[in-house]
Amino acid sequence: MTADLTGFHEELRVLARGLLGKAASGAAPDWRSIARSGWLGLEAPEPLDGADATFAEVAVVLREAGRAAARGPYPAVAALGVGALGLLEPSPGRDRLFRETVAGAAVPVTALEGEAVEGVPFRLERTGRGLLLHGTAAFVPGAPVADRLLLPALGPDGTPVVVEAGPDAPGLEVTEQPVVDETRRFGLVTARGVEAGPDAVWRFRGDPEASVRRLHERAAIAVACDSLGLSEAMLEATVAYAGVREQFGRAIGSFQAVKHACADMLVQVKVSGKLVEGAVRGQVDGGRGTGVAASMAKSHACAAAVEVAGKAMQLHGGMGYTWESGIHVYLKRAVLNRSLSGSPAAHRRRLAGRYPAFGLGAGERLS
């Protein structure tokens, strides 16, 4: 990373921390403020009113969203809405939606199956009435608040495409799925013969299969960024509390049992940070190994966040278990993140798929 970008990221971090932390408890940050901040257009091309920046900048905001346990669909829109638009071939419809998204006038969400690490949930069938869309995707982040849906589907010839539809399109149903984590909203998206006119079927710019993989990688890394941010918040809160809370006449943080637990939290956070950084860099630089880096970041950061948030609740003692303390908000978000976009076990299965075929040779690397 160049020095310039480091400075820019720091600026972005400070702004994001301010804006996301300012939202009243229980409320999502105002969408117009988010649009004005430019975060929706970070990855959009300049001719479509975007900033031509990269996923590395989006990742800064996603991490802050985790740190603030922020409500609202920004992570879904930035990771998968804007992410899908960027992978699609330019067309008048796609370009218009891109512009509206950047301006905050449209809130597009891509309907990938919430727990999946791969695949396309919908399919297009050729009928006498033209192309009809079928399929379901459960636990789609942000779906209940989206005003546009991008539905990844296999075309009649088996090639992945994206079908664009409004949530009120005939045959399309979006049902909210309430979850324990109150900071996020998910929906079950069902398509039963949704008419997909030629203007609504959008093609990927490059290799369609690779584009779908890229979308899943982005989804996984976005969740990893969120878990990293929330881990950092929990570690800081715990260290602050352990420094002032006294028992037996001394700050509890001076007891080795507490201090060493905090040290382990820091180590976990540091390792997660490096893995997330590597995965984000992979998305920006491209090349081989982007999926491996994404799976490592997702499996480690999201499992570690549950441990960190759980330890935070433990070290806050009785206060930590109260609703008022808010620790539960982070713990629930961490536990949900662990399952979202593929469990640690599912991502590790992908990593392990490389092992059986692996031979020994000097200088050979697994990637």
Partner 1 sequence: MTGAALDLPDFRAHVRDWCRTHIPDGWRRAQTGVPDEEFVAFQKEWFQELRRAGFAVPHWPAEWGGGMPVARQAVLYQELAAHDAPRLVLAFVSIHHAASTLLAAGTREQRERHLPAILDGEIWVQGFSEPDAGSDLAALRTTARREGGSYVVNGQKVWASGAAHADWCLLLARTDPDAPKRRGISYFLMDMRTPGVDVRPIRQATGESHFCEIFLDDAVIPAGCRIGPENDGWRVAQETLGAERGMTMLELAERLGNGGFRWLVELCGRPGPGGARPVDDARVQDRLAVLETELTGLRALCAELVENDSPGPADASIVKLYYSELLQRMTDFGAEVAGLAAHAELRKPLSSGWESGAWVLDFIGSWEWTIPGGSSEIQRSIIGERGLGLPREPKGSR
Is 352 one of the binding residues for partner 1 (CB under 8 A)? yes
- By CB under 8 A, residue 48 contacts partner 1: no
Q: Please name which of 178, 185, 99, 102 lies closest in space to residue 145, comparing C-alpha atoms.
A: 185
Nearer to partner 1, 328 or 347 (CB): 347
Name the amino acid, one letter, at 266: L
Q: Which of the ranges 69-77, 90-98, 330-338, 359-367 carries the binding residues for partner 1, by CB under 8 A?
A: 359-367
Stretch that binds partner 1, among 30-38, 105-113, 275-283, 320-328 (CB under 8 A): 275-283
Residues in Cβ contact with 57 at an 8 Å cutoff, skipping those fewer than 6 apart = 8, 9, 12, 42, 43, 51
Q: Which of 213, 216, 300, 338 binds partner 1 (CB under 8 A)?
A: 300
Sequence-distant (≥ 6) Cβ neighbours of residue 150 within 8 angstroms = 80, 81, 84, 85, 108, 109, 110, 111, 162, 163, 164, 202
Strand 148-154 vs strand 160-165: parallel, antiparallel, or unpaired? antiparallel
- Closest distance between partner 1 and the C-beta of residue 245, in Å? 11
Shortest Å distance, C-beta 309 to partner 1 = 17
- In the bound complex, what is the minimum distance in angstroms from residue 360's beta carbon to partner 1? 5
- Burial bucket for residue 298 (CB in 10 Å: 0-12, 13-18, 19+): buried
Taking the least distance from each CB to partner 1, the nearer of 175 and 254 is 254
Q: Are 214 and 112 in contact (CB under 8 A)?
A: no
- Pick between residue 71 and residue 300 the one whose CB is nearest to partner 1: 300
* Residue 360 binds partner 1 (CB under 8 A): yes
Nearer to partner 1, 5 or 266 (CB): 266
Residue 300 Cβ vs partner 1, minimum distance, rounded to whole Å: 5
Radius of gyration of the chain (CA): 21
For the bound state, the minimum distance from the C-beta of residue 217 to partner 1, rounded and expressed in Å, comes to: 15
**CB 138 to partner 1: min, Å:** 25
Nearest to 222 by CA among 5, 1, 17, 55: 55
> Is 285 among the residues that bind partner 1 (CB under 8 A)?
no
Q: Which is nearer to partner 1, 22 or 270 (CB)?
A: 270
Cα–chain center distance at 283: 13
CA 341/CA 354 separation, integer angstroms = 20
> Which ranges in the chain belong to alpha helices (H)?
3-22, 31-37, 55-67, 74-76, 82-87, 92-103, 208-244, 256-285, 290-315, 317-321, 327-339, 344-352
Compute the least distance from the CB of residue 261 to partner 1, in Å. 9
Angle at the Cα of 116 from the Cα atoms of 61 and 355, rounded to 5 degrees: 100
| Site string (244-273) toward partner 1, x via CB under 8 A | ------xx-xx-x-xxx-xxx-xx--xxx-
Q: How far is the CB of 295 from partner 1 (least distance, A)?
A: 8
Q: Which of 173, 209, 277, 307 binds partner 1 (CB under 8 A)?
A: 277
The interaxial angle of helices 290-315 and 344-352, nearest 10 deg, is 150
CA distance 147 to 76: 13
CB of 339 to partner 1, least distance (A): 16
Q: Does 288 bind partner 1 (CB under 8 A)?
A: no
Query: Applying CB under 8 A, does 144 fall inside the site for partner 1?
Result: no
Query: Rounded to an integer, what distance in angstroms lies between the CA atom of residue 209 and that of residue 190?
Result: 23
299 binds partner 1 (CB under 8 A): yes
Q: Does 3 bind partner 1 (CB under 8 A)?
A: no
Q: Does 364 bind partner 1 (CB under 8 A)?
A: yes
In the complex, the smallest distance separating the C-beta of residue 75 from partner 1, rounded to whole angstroms, is: 23
296 forms part of the interface with partner 1 (CB under 8 A): yes
Binding-site ranges for partner 1 (CB under 8 A): 235, 239, 242-243, 250-251, 253-254, 256, 258-260, 262-264, 266-267, 270-272, 274-275, 277-278, 296, 299-300, 345, 347-349, 351-352, 355-356, 358, 360, 362-366
